[in-house]
Amino acid sequence: MKGQSISVFILSLLLPWSSVFSQFPGDGTRANGSKPTLDGFAEVSWEASYAQVRDKFLSLAANPQSDEKIEVVHEDKEKSLLVRRNGIMYLYRFYSTPKLVLDSRPKDKQARPERPAANPDEDEHIEPGKLFSVGVSFRYLPGKDVQNKLENKYGKPKKETLDDKKIGGAVIWELTDEREAPPKGGFVVQWKEAYKKQPFTRRVDYFSSKVKAQIEKEYKEFFSAEEIKTLRDLIP
């Protein structure tokens, strides 16, 4: 998980605002009385494998009957997939438990996937990547307009943090089922930044709550994994 970050965000697009909003996640209104959750992004569920998501978009891109314009722009196997869909950029991010963390765990308590032998320096991970986040990038749009679209879909945000000038910051929606541990669902972060001295948005991120909790736990494991593994090897 060295250097792995969920803050890799791409490009802004030169599209008319009406075109952007027609594709922007959050269009539509919630069913009355319903409490929204976030079990994935659009038609892709959280924890879908890298291969599943990649194959889906390659299939859509090659479908002559589809009226969508879809292109897989960049691939980082088992880690990220950048897709241009109808002029908007979507960065699908994937997570797998670092090999060092798996190696530090007791042998009888971990289910290790069967994978072909590979160069140990080639990759720090041995498990297939699973979807934990999607970042959406587009041209600058008024922050309030984007927030209204998201509120139509998800209701009022849980938190809004702004800088001293009340322009830049983040708006956060938590869309989870707290009856499960870790909670099922996810959360949405709308980023606001100063543009022409007004709050504008060009990026919105969606995250899985369950995988986020797993990453936080394994992040702590990672920094003690080398010592734990060494001690276990010294004292079988």
CB atoms closer than 10 angstroms to residue 115:
10
Q: Whole-model pTM?
A: 0.75
Confidence of residue 181 (pLDDT cuts 50, 70, 90): confident
Residue 29 lies in a domain: no
pLDDT of residue 191: 95
Residue 30 lies in a domain: no
Residue 201 lies in a domain: yes
Residue 110 lies in a domain: no
Rounded mean pLDDT, 41-50: 93
Residues 209-225 have pLDDT tens digits of: 999 888 888 776 665 55
Residue 161 lies in a domain: yes
Residue 228 lies in a domain: yes
Per the structure, the complete domain to which residue 46 belongs is given by 40-104+124-234
More confident position, 13 or 190: 190
Mean pLDDT of the chain: 77
Tokens in use for 175? 């869309």
Give the bridge partners for 90, in sequence order. Answer: 83, 136
Contacts 24+ apart (CB under 8 A), 189-194: 190/143, 190/146, 190/147, 190/150, 190/157, 192/143, 192/162, 192/167, 192/168, 193/167, 193/168, 194/165, 194/167, 194/168
Which of 18-32, 47-61, 94-108 has the least mean pLDDT?
18-32
Question: How far apart are the C-alpha atoms of 61 and 90, rounded to whole Å?
Answer: 14
Residue 62 lies in a domain: yes
Residues 118-168 have pLDDT tens digits of: 454 445 556 789 999 999 999 999 999 999 999 999 999 999 988 887 789
pLDDT of residue 28: 41
Which of the 8 DSSP states describes residue 39? S
Residue 213 lies in a domain: yes
Confidence of residue 25 (pLDDT cuts 50, 70, 90): low
pLDDT of residue 33: 55
Q: Is the model's pLDDT at 26 over the cut of 70?
A: no
pLDDT of residue 197: 87
Structurally, the chain folds into a number of domains equal to: 1
Which of the 8 DSSP states describes residue 179? T
Instruction: Indicate the length of the chain as a whole number.
Output: 236
